[in-house]
Structures are given as C-alpha cells and as structure tokens.
Structure 1
Amino acid sequence: MNIKQATTIDEVIQLLDEIIEVSIQEQSAIGFFTMLYREVTVRIKEGIQNDAFQNGERMEKLDVIFANRYLKAYYQYKAKEKASECWEFSFQQAENFWPIVVQHLLLGINAHVNLDLGIASAEVSTAENIKDLESDFNQINIILSSLVTHVETCLIKIWPTLAIILKLTGKIDNFCIDFSMKTARDGAWKFANEFVVLPENQKEACITQRDKRIAEIARLVSNPGYFVSAVFKFIRLFERGDVAQKIMDLKMIQEKKEDCVVV
C-alpha cells in the first residue's frame, strides 16, 4: 500500500477526511480518533491564520510532520506492515468490540502526544532554539486539552446516572487524572528536549525505547482496572448505533460546535 504523506496542512485535512470515509465504509473505530484529530488540525490551521502562534510557518511545518507520523502508522497498519508499537496497539483495539469511544480517543491521543509530538517538535528545532518553540508547543496542547474536556463532558451528558456513580466513587476522575493532558504535555516536551540533542545514530533506538513505554500506557488505557473496566463494558453494551453512525455523530457534533460527543 502506498503510504500517503502530506506537505501542507490542507493536505493533512484532506488525508484525514479520506481515512474517516474509509472508516465509515469499513465500520472501523479508527475513525473515532481520526475525527477528533481532524478537529485539532482545523483549529491549528485557524490559529495559524489568526496569528495565534508565534511562528505560523514553523507551526505548519510542525503540524505536517506531526500528522505524517500518524498517517504513516495508519497506512503501515492497513498494509499489514509493522507500525510503531503504541499505534499498532491502538489500531488493534479498533478491531475489538469492548473499548468505548472515549478509550479509542485516549489511545490515539496517547500515541500521538506522548510519542509523535515530541519527535515532531524536535524535528523543527535545534538544540539551540527549541526553547523558542515552547509557547507554540503549549498552544497545541491547549487545543488538545480542550478537546479532551469536550470528550469528558459528553460522558456526563449522555450517561448522567453512570457519571454520578463514577464521580461518587472517584473512579472516573482517577481514570482521567491518570491520563491528564498536563502529564502528557510535560512528558512530550521533556522528551522533545532530550531527543533534539541526540546524535543522529542514536535517535532510532531512542524512539524504539520511548515507543515501548508509551505502549505500556496504552495497555493501561485499554484496561484501567477491574471496576472501571466493568463499568465501561456496561456502557458499551448499551451504546447506540454502529461504528459508522457514531463517526457520523462525531462529525455532526463538530460541525455544529456542540459540546459533547458519543461515548
């Protein structure tokens, strides 16, 4: 299979649209994260156009490198080639009945922020100027964080009774806190600063080691403990609509700028 790569942010959005359409046709849960990621990309594009970033040209370059890592992993997986371990696990879970939509989203965010964002940030920087990127790096994470909150809000709106039970036990809060965007952001920035100073011949080994660590986090997201897993299974049994319908719901919600999504 041809591994498609983007050269501009518009091409990124176009390729994400293609994956979403394929996911709808194939009833693939891969489309859940792709839909969320498309919204992130659109917001970054709008931020560049509105001068929300310190360096718009650098930000588009970072966005393209960042997206191409996801696109490469996706096309490798579809071609039955070996993708990075954390993405491989995320895509495999998309073939599993039990994960709920929020878990699919978190698996994608885990791989893309904890692995890909640090690498992309280092690739648009040097050891001497990476500090200049920090403000724009944080701006990306503000966008991502707002969308994670968007997902958490939907859990409460669509399953209010379960949300009350989970909040009373503290379990859902613990689940989300354990996978907080602040932790992911800080880890990605630390990794970017470590990665950018490495000699070229050490970078591949560093990525492999990091990938294995992020895959372990993915396994925790997939299996967050007996109680939360049991509740998520209960939610899954009562989810409405097939995968394609849920992707379409996500698309409709984003187009209408509503403040919750399906779980």
Structure 2
Amino acid sequence: MPASTINEVIDALQTIITDSIAASSRVGYFAALYYKVTAAVRDGITKGQFENGPRMEKFDVIFANRYLDALSAWKNKQPMSDSWRVAFETAERSSPLVLQQLLLGMNAHINLDLGIAAVEVSNGNMDGVQKDFDAINTIISALTYQVISEINRVSPLLSLLGLHSSNYSIIIQFSIGNARDGAWCFAEDLLAKQGTAYADCITARDKTIAQLAQGLAHATGLMRITLWLIHVFEWKSPSKIIRELHEYQKEKIVVNTPSAIPA
C-alpha cells in the first residue's frame, strides 16, 4: 500500500533500511540518505518552516511514493522507469563507490520524480508550490556537511576524485541545487502537457536521465582506475555502511508524532 502520511513514509524507509542491513543490501544506502531528508522535512513542517504545511506533506508523500513504488517494482520484476532501473541494477554490483550509489538514487528521484510530484500536487498552480519547493533546498543544505562527513569516513580516499574534477563531468554537473533547478524546469514543461503528450514528456525525460545514470555508473579511462583505488580503501560491508549513514537519525528521531494529509 502506498504511504498516505509523512510518518508512513518514514516507517517505510526504516523498514527498507532494517531489511537492507539484515540482507547486507546496498539498496539501503539511498534509503538511509532519504530518511535523513524526509525526517528533516517533517521537522520543518512541525516548526512551520513551509508556507503550507499540509500541502508540503502531501508533496513529500507523492514524491516518496514514486521511490517506494519503483523499489517494489524492482523487487517484483515489474515495469519501471529506466532511471531507477539503472540505480537498482548498480546496487547489485560491489564495485561502484558508495557515492556513486547515492548519486544514482538522487539522479532518478530528483531529476525525474521530483518534477512529476510537483505537477501532481500543484493542481495547475505551480506558483503556489514554488516557495515550499525552494525551502527544501535550505533543509538539504543543512544536511550536506553531515552527509559528506559520513561518506568520507566510509570512503577515506574519496578526495582523489578532485584529480579528475576538470573532466569527470557527471560529478561536476550533478549537484542537488542544479538538479532541483532542472526538476523545476521539467515540472513547468510537464504542466503544459496533457494526455499522450504528458506521458511522452515523462518518457523522454526518463530516457535522458537514464543516460546520465549510465555515465555515472560506468566510468572510463583514468577515472575508472581512480575509482578502483578509492574502492580498495572503502568500507566493504553494506550493513556497516548503512548503519553509518543512518546513525544520526537513529539518535535524533525518537518519537513519531501523528500526521495526516487533509483530503
């Protein structure tokens, strides 16, 4: 069943994390990161940081359900977006870095799912959504240093990526801010479409984002050698890595407060 409240989203993510630790599955990497963001959004709603708290919760739930649905489709071998398929396929491989795994999840969820969720919650009025859409950037920025610190502990030679910063465009071009800006432009374009044109717009976007994912998942040339060296010194236990990425929220999030989305 799809989640209907933000607390249900958090519970679903915790289940994915718990199951991934038990199965030593790299699928839990993105779930642990996503838990952080969702818990922070819930805190922001509680503190009145958004212009429209109930709408923000509805937005968050619609957005999260796209990830939860994609994961369910993957597990049950059902049709799904190409963007998520690349991310989940890569999670079955041990050679990609933790950073690559996280970016692949972010790539599919922000570059494809976020724009679709914005349109679905807008009721045809994107102006009403934009302020709260932008407010999430502040929340994500507040988590950035914490997440980077965790990844650096897991992957102590990650700074070697700087040797290729001038030509590894897939990492240079990808940032949360830029991705969210692109997602907003996609949402505005999608809002103007109806019927077949709406579906075709999503399909075309998915194809583009999946190509970006392939470039991120499969490095070539000297970058491939650098990634291999970083990987040699990276933690090898998926369960241990998931616990590290999730530790902050285990300490901070103790009680789930009741929450519901108005009809």
* TM-score normalised by length of structure 1: 0.87
> Which of the numbers 188, 197, 203 marks the counterpart of 2:183?
188
Aligned partners of 2:140 and 2:167: how far apart in 1?
19
Which residue does 1:42 correspond to in 2? 39
Give the match for residue 138 of structure 2. 142
Structure with the larger RCO, 1 or 2 (CA within 8 Å, 6+ apart): 2
- The yes-or-no answer on 1:228 pairing with 2:246 is no
Q: Is the 2:29–2:98 Cα contact (8 Å) retained in structure 1?
A: yes
Deviations, residues 58-108 of structure 1 (Å, cap 9, x unaligned): 100000000000000000000011211100110000001111111111000
**Matching of residues 101-116 of structure 1 within 5 Å:** 101-116=98-113
What letter matches 2:33 in structure 1?
Answer: L
Task: Classify 1:167/1:255 alpha carbon distance in 2 versus 1 (closer, same or farther; 3 Å).
Answer: same
1:20-48 per-position Cα deviation (integer Å, ceiling 9, x unaligned):
11111221111000000011100000000
Match of 2:121 in 1: 124
- What letter corresponds to residue 77 of structure 1 in structure 2? W
1:251 paired with 2:250, answer: no
User: Could you say which residue in structure 1 is the equivalent of 2:8?
Assistant: 11
Aligned residues of 1:86 and 1:212 also touching (Cα < 8 A): yes
Q: Which moved more, 1:56-65 or 1:175-184?
A: 175-184
**Does residue 232 of structure 2 align to residue 237 of structure 1?**
yes
Aligned residues: 252
Aligned pairs (5 A) from 1:30-69? 30-69=27-66
Q: Give the root-mean-square deviation of aligned CA atoms.
A: 2.3
Q: What residue is the counterpart of 2:211 in the other structure? A: 216
1:89 paired residue among 57, 80, 86: 86
CA contact (8 A) 1:175 1:224 kept: no
- CA 1:256–1:214 in 2, change beyond 3 Å: closer, same or farther? same
Following TM superposition, by how much is the alpha carbon of 1:131 offset from its aligned partner in structure 2, in angstroms?
1.4
Stretches of structure 1 lacking an aligned partner (at least 5 in a row): 258-263
Report percent identity of matched pairs.
41
Instruction: Specify every segment of 5 or more residues in structure 2 that has no aligned partner in the other structure, as ranges.
Output: 253-263
**Closer, same or farther: CA 196–140 of 1 in aligned 2, 3 Å:** same
